[in-house]
Structure 1
Amino acid sequence: MTTVRRMRTAALCGAMPLALLVAGCGGSGGDAKPSEAAPAASQPAPAPASSSAAPKDPDAAQKRAVLAAYASMWGEQMKAYKVADATGTDLKRYAALTALSKLRLDLAQMKKSGTRGTGTLGHEPTVMELKTDGKLPTATLQDCIDLSQWKAVRTSGEPVPLPSNQPRRYLATAKAEQWPGGWMITDYTPNGARTC
């Protein structure tokens, strides 16, 4: 299982329907842990890992590619939410099928209601399942969405509060498929009832 911890991107999203309000975005948040200090010269260097150590994940590169596509989709999505319009974004390069349809509907509703997004929306996505043995490789991701720094505003700048029953951290799942041009996020489903 590959996990990307505390991926954060400036998320600029409006008052979306609950289905996509509980959505996350990708990017690096600079929460990397510092590396451990090298052993002092008087101490022996640690022994190399033995063959009994856990084997390397043969799917690690594919999982990283899935997570990169997911992060890129959210980066483009946040650009769109900032202005309630996908024009000028590369969203179709990373999102397709149901995921793209949901996003377009969400943007149309934002435009109609005169809202846009600002603030930071965080996540912690993990590849839960990867199937590469079929004709079309697929992946399932789980993400912990963090709305604590999220803000929706009207075009006038007036803040739009989140619904009182909206959890600030909850789980979402996404589906991905490997197309000829790379991994595409094909579906996204928030689950506001499952907190994380």
Structure 2
Amino acid sequence: MWTERTKAYRQATSEGTDLERYAALDALRGFERDLARMKENDTVFRGELRHAPEVTVLRADARPPTATVEDCVDLSRWRVLDTTTGWPIPLPSGQPLRQAATATVERGDGGRWMVTEYTADTTRSC
């Protein structure tokens, strides 16, 4: 999911990506809202994100099977750029460069795990 999300955020659109193969429901809607806002504000992302995901809950017996993944997203090498000028836009002051994020994933009929909910806590460092 992260590879496809990164592709989308680099161009402010999910067109030409496989984001829908890995994200659905609330997560996909949230990503699409982000992309629309980015396009409206003439911004894209560059650089790389680093992660430290960990499955904290697994419900293999649930229908469909679900899991909760806690992640620490490192933004220190991730930049927002203004596409009209090419200039970097600083992150909001006080926002930690390492942020806690939580994803809910569900196993679909084809056996693929898809992110259905995703929340990044921009106020909580990890």
**1:193 shift after superposition:** 2.8
Larger radius of gyration: 1
Is 1:174 paired with 2:103? yes
Report the equivalent of 2:42.
114
TM-score by length of 1: 0.62
TM-score by length of 2: 0.95
Deviations 1:26-83 (A, max 9, x none): xxxxxxxxxxxxxxxxxxxxxxxxxxxxxxxxxxxxxxxxxxxxxxx11001101111
Among all aligned residue pairs of Structure 1 and Structure 2, give the percentage whose two residues are the same amino acid.
51
Aligned residue pairs total 124
Report the equivalent of 2:57.
129
State how far apart, in whole Å, the 2-side matches of 1:79 and 1:177 are: 22
Moved over 3 A (4+): none
Match of 1:187 among 114, 117, 121: 117
Gap runs ≥5 in structure 1: 1-72
Compare the two structures and name the one with the higher strand fraction.
2
Report the equivalent of 1:98.
26
Bigger RCO of structures 1 and 2 (CA < 8 A, at least 6 apart): 1
Alignment partner of 2:49: what SS? strand
For the aligned residue pairs, the C-alpha RMSD in angstroms reads 0.8
Gap runs ≥5 in structure 2: none
